[in-house]
Structure 1
């Protein structure tokens, strides 16, 4: 099943995000141990088109609990970067 993870950074988190960026990318490079396959992911950006303000993932996993564990293991989550995270099922229609 597909799931969308929509995570918004807490105010003032950009420096912490940048400090944890390499660990976050390394974590995402091998998601198999977490039972998750990334279909698509990337940063959300502010109106300027470049300042990162959050993260968006579309992942494939067996169930919601697996995705929640995957998200909790992310270095960005552990560093407290995200203020709000929503995880919802997703049905692909196009793309």
Structure 2
């Protein structure tokens, strides 16, 4: 099953986000679930990072929730909100 994870940062988190980026990247690399796609969400200026988006493949939502809760960005208090939802992929034009 696929799951989207949509995370919005607290205000003024760019420096904290960059300080934890290497730990976050290493954490994703050793994921027990498959990361299909991930990257930062951007503000209207198309440069300022304001959150994170992930598309995961996992057996169930509880597995994704456990993994996300231990993400270094989450543990550092960067994300203000985290929304995890099942996703049914119908089209993939990659």
Q: TM-score, normalized by length of structure 1?
A: 0.94
Write out per-residue CA displacement over residues 66-85 of structure 1, whole angstroms, 9 at most, x where no aligned residue: 00000011000000000000
- RMSD of aligned alpha carbons: 0.7
1:19 aligns with 2:19: yes
Segments of structure 1 that go 5 or more residues without pairing to the other structure are none
What is the CA distance between 1:26 and its match in structure 2? Answer: 0.8
CA distance in 1, matches of 2:82, 2:88: 19
The count of corresponding residues between Structure 1 and Structure 2 is 92
Aligned to 2:50: 53
Map 1:1-95 → 2, pairs under 5 A = 1-32=1-32, 36-95=33-92
Q: TM-score, normalized by length of structure 2?
A: 0.95
The list of structure 1 runs, each at least 4 consecutive aligned residues, that deviate by more than 6 angstroms after superposition, is none
